Each structure stands twice: as structure tokens, then as C-alpha cells.
Structure 1
Amino acid sequence: MDTVLRFVGLDLELDKELQEITDLAATMCNASTAVISFLDTDTQYFKVKRDCKDIVGEVKTYPRKDTFCSHAIKQDDVMIIPDTLADPRFAYHDAVTGDPNIRFYAGTPLWDSEGQKVGTLCVLDTNPNNLNEQQKQLLKVIANQAMKTIELKIKSITLQEKLTEVEAQQEYIYDASIRLRSFFESSTNFQVLLGKSGEVIDFNKTAFNFVKRAHNTDMDRGDLFVTYIAPEFVSKFLDGYNLALKGIRHVEEGSTDYGEMGVIWWDATFEAARDKNDDIIGISYLIRNVTERKEREQKIIKQNESLLSIAHIQAHEFRAPLTTIMGLMSLIKEDDYALASGYLPYLEMAVNNLDEKIKSIVVDIENSVEKL
């Protein structure tokens, strides 16, 4: 029974308020012992007691089927056994015929706030006894007070646990926010968080410093970010922004001339920012400065163009010495190589001419590469 287990797990044995309640119950009923206990399907758990005659002793649990309280919890009123020896249900019970020789028992159910019987408040003695109507009513009132006290303690413990969880959660969130802010601020990329109306919600140092330098003004939260966009890029910015608001990630590339700062090449990423429920709350706008990469690319393109140009210009110059060599070889073959020695000076001249052309082109290429 989960309902009972939440009471069983409580550390109530030394609770001052509940100890006072059991003392009051024993005193009002002229009994030596009073016990608050809880019962599940199989076991009775003794939680709080006032035990002048050591009737319960150090016992903490007992099989439910052998207890007086297993009968009392089935009733709605106080169950009284004035003399256990005179009650056939208990006359031969071990606790009656032997130690601790219980002769009197009175018990009333403990009801939780949900109307479930979860245990009993009982009084015991080694001498026969009885309760009058006033004592019976008082025992029920005391039992009701005992349960209210116990449930209040449960709520207090639960509240404390929740507070501890909240504090731990707050500490975790704080640490996470510090880490996130540190990561956010340490980025060399321009990054801003924009609201659904285009207003600036947050920004990192890189973004703030760039706006300060490029526009000679401080960017503040709440500013319309479009005011910091170069006029020629406004329409593309709005297109990317609106796509991101629909949950579509968008990347844009381009360059902007910032006057004294020079031309800056960039790529911009528009991405939806979402809350814990995955609802879009704004836009994450990140810009990377790719000027260095673009300059390298442009340099390589110019190198390739220059080399192609050189090759195109010089290619026809190869044709003359090659044509000469091919013509001489044709004549040598026609004479069946018999007069080859007569053609060798001309062949050597053509080869040397070709070699000079090749060297000249190589030098032109090297000079062109150095200039780039």
C-alpha cells in the first residue's frame, strides 16, 4: 500500500509533538501505554509510543494478522477490549497469556486526508480498564490531531525537498547560463538574438564592438536591428529573417564596403530561436567574417587566370620551332636517313629555339606568380 508506505518511511519516533500526543492519549485514558502505528497488508509498524510499563518494548514491526490493531482499523469507532482474557478473540493471544500480559486495549483508526484508514492510535495496559464516552471522543480527537500533525510534517518535508530541488535547479541554471554567456561572449563571430518584431534581445561583444566601429553608435537591447544593416543588404536580410521566423534555416553570403574599414566579406546565418516548448521566440543571427578566405580565393583565381593568359599568349610561339623540327624529321625520313647529318645543324637550331621559348615562358610564369 503506497499510501501507508509514505507514513512508514517517516522518522517520527523522536518527534516531540507526536510524543506529546501519545502522552496525552495515555493520560486521558488512564493507560500506561499509547502507540501510533501504521498498517499495510501484512505488517504493523510502531512509529510513536509512550510506554511506561514497557508493553511494546523495542518492537518496531509485527505481523498484522496477530495484532489487536488489525481489528481496530476495520471499525470506524473506538474499539475497546476492557479485559482481553474475557474476549474470545484475544484470550489465547501470546501477548495476553504471556509477556507483556496485555489486559486492556482501546484503539481508533487513523484517517488520512484522502479518507483512507492507514493506522491506529491505541492505548494499552496490563490491568483491565474501560473508557467512558468522553474518553472515547477524546481518543478520536487526539487521533485526528495526530494525523493532521503527521500530514503537516509530510507536507513540510515535501516542501523542503522541493525547495532543495529548486535551489539545485537554480544553481544548475545559473552555472549553465554562465557557461553559455562565456561561450557566447568568447565567440569571434558577430551574433545577436532578435525578437519576433526584429528588436535586439541580446548580443555578444563582437557584435557590439563591430556596430560601434562601423556605425559610431552603441547597440542597445530593444533597438530595431535593421537600422544597423547596410542599405543594399536590407531586402536580403528581411528575406532571411522571415524565413527563419517560419523555422527555415537560411544562409546568405556577400560583401559590404565599410569605408575606412574596407570591404568585408561575410556569410550570415538566420536560424529560429526556440523556447523549451519548441516554440519560435525569435531569430539567432550569426555573421562570420570570411574576408581572409575570400581574398585567398580571389588570389588563386587571379593566379589561374594569369597562367592561362600566359599559356594562351605563348602557345603559338611553340608552333614555329615545332613545325621546323617536324619538317626536318620528315625530310630525313624521305631520304631514308641517308642524309640525316646534313639536316642535324638545322634540327639542333630548332631544338635550341624551342628550349629558349620554354625557359622564357617559365620565367614569365614565375614573375607573374611573384606579382600576385
Structure 2
Amino acid sequence: MIIAEPKRLAIVKQYHDLILDENKELNDLVALAAKICNVKMSCVSLIDEHVQWIKCALGITADEQSREDSFCKYLVSTTKVMVVKNTLLDERFMNYTSVRGVKGIRFYAGVSIITTDGYHLGALCVYGTKPQTLTGEQKEMLAFIARQVMHMLEMLLGIQSFKQSHVHPNTHKENAVAAERKLNAFLNSSPTSHILINKALQVLHFNKSSSASVKKHLAKKIEAGKSVLQYISTPFKDKFLKFIKRAFAGKRTSKEVLIKTAGKAPQWWDISLHPVTNEQGDTVSVTYSAVNIHEQKLQAAQNQAQKDSLLKIAFIQSHSYRKPVASILGLMNVIKANNYKSPKESLLLMEKAVNDLDAQIRSVVDCADKAS
């Protein structure tokens, strides 16, 4: 991650101008972070030289606070998820005003929001009023949501830049050209595919990521002025048309979809379509954004499979072992009572109990192999 402070502060200022608290998708991501971490407070914040700006929040009413008094200031130089299990036991935070008192913050977790160029903008944070910790899976999900927040911010900044480039084009031609160059530079630095589409479903603008994606998955070259449907895989076209119709009606769509492409395995994508309006509030175009999340989906499925296997192991250990072990112990007591002289029937029962126990152990080994 790049920490060059003057450049970082300039980028933070760009994003600070965005109005984010009314954005439904961003609010949904903030709420999801709180839900996953089992807390009631969460936020997306930007951090400049002196202030932590709270741009979108759940359960938090403040709009800003001093950077010096923020939990998130420690995230400026790290990409790892930061977890504070009990703020009262942490010397960095125990004297914070927000921590002191019966209803103070007792738990904190946060992860950096980082641009594709490696600049730290701020953080996705969750807070709780009781000491707790996070599992490895919860940490992974929090980091994943932070990346989605960054994708969302990039898209919103791109939309704003596009709007600015089309305000009074005749009287502010130079400003419009400069804004459009700025928009293109921004979009081409994004790993997310962005395509701007007009009402005739023609491509107005596209970035390098969308060009590379279309070439890779459809073996086509995307061109401005062409129908966007040429660059949508056939199995996904009906859904895409439904989504873009909603967008031109002023409704946003954000979905995780499994998209099939001829001759290739289906891939999971996080897609969104947002209406772009003019000064009168009329929808004049739509931004279509897509990012491949197939690896994350596979990892999540693998994590769930491992979790299921571990639960099965725990069940076997706590229940299935009991019967054969109890049988062996009972038979040993009988053998001991007979001065270790036992009839054949007792030994056969002992053999059966040992075989049952061996079968349960093999089952645990199989589950452990699957979990690994």
C-alpha cells in the first residue's frame, strides 16, 4: 500500500465531495458488515490530515471526529483487519471518551479502504458495546465488503465526473474536455469493468477493464457506438435487459450473478446498473459495472465446506464415540471382575465395540481430509 500523504490527501478530497449517506447499495454494505460481525454499529469513513469523516453509517449519528481520537487512524499503514477485543484492556483506546462509561465502545474491528493505486482512503469499521472477537471467516467477509465499498466509491466518483463533463458543454467546453480526460484516467485505473450506455443501448464510454473482459470472455473488441448487447453473453441477455430497463426507470440494481459464456465455465460476477441523470433529474444514460468475484465465491464455498466438516467431526467426537467407548469400558469391568478370565462372548462383544470405534475414527479422518 502507498502512504505518500500529499497524494493520499488529494484523493481523499475527491471522494469526500461525494454524497454517500443516501446511497442504498452503500448503506446495504455497511449494514451487512454489522450483521456479519454481530454488532449494531458500523460505518464507512474517510480520513484526511486531521479529521475522520463518517460518510455512511449504521447506529452512529456523528458526521465527523478528530483523527487523533479515532480508532481507524491505525489502519493508515496496514492492509490487515484490525480487531480490538476489549477496548478497556487496550492502552491505545482505554482513555477514549467514546470508551469511558457504562455504555462505551468495548469492541472494534476495521479494515482499510484502499484504491486500486494503493492509496488508503479510510476504513470500513464495526463497533460493539460488549467485548468480543471475530472468527477468521468474519474477518475475510469484512475485508471482502471493504473491497466492494471501494468498487462502489470508484463507480460513484466516475458517475460524478461524467456528469460534470456534460454540464453546459457549449459554454464550458474546455472544462468539459478536462473533466472527460479525468474521467477516462480514473476509469482506466479501475479493476472493475465500467460501460456507459445511452437509451438506444449504445456504448458511450468504456474503460480498459471492460475492454479486456469482453476480449477474454467473449473474444470480441468493444467499440463505442455499438449495441451493448453485442458484449453481453447470450444466457445473461434477458436478465440484463430487465436490469437496464429498471435503471432507465430510475431504479438501481446490484446483484451477484452466475454468468455462462459459450465454451467456458460459468463465472460469478458482482454487477450493478445505475441511472445517470441530468440537471433536470431525467435519466439520460446508465452505468453498467461488473467485477469478477468467482474466486471469492469459491473460497466462501470452500470455507463453508470446511466448517461443515468440522461440525461433523465435533458431533462424532461428542456423540458417536460414547457408545463404543462405554461398551469397551463396561466389558473391561466384567473382565476385571472375572480376574481377567473372560468367556468368548465377552471378547466378541469387545471386538465389535473396537470395530465400531475404529469406524468412527475413520469417519473423523475422512472429514478432516475434506476440511483440509
Q: Fold-level match, TM-score > 0.5? A: no
More helix per residue: 1 or 2?
Answer: 1
Higher Rg of the two aligned structures? 1
Length-normalised TM-score, structure 2 = 0.43
Length-normalised TM-score, structure 1 = 0.43
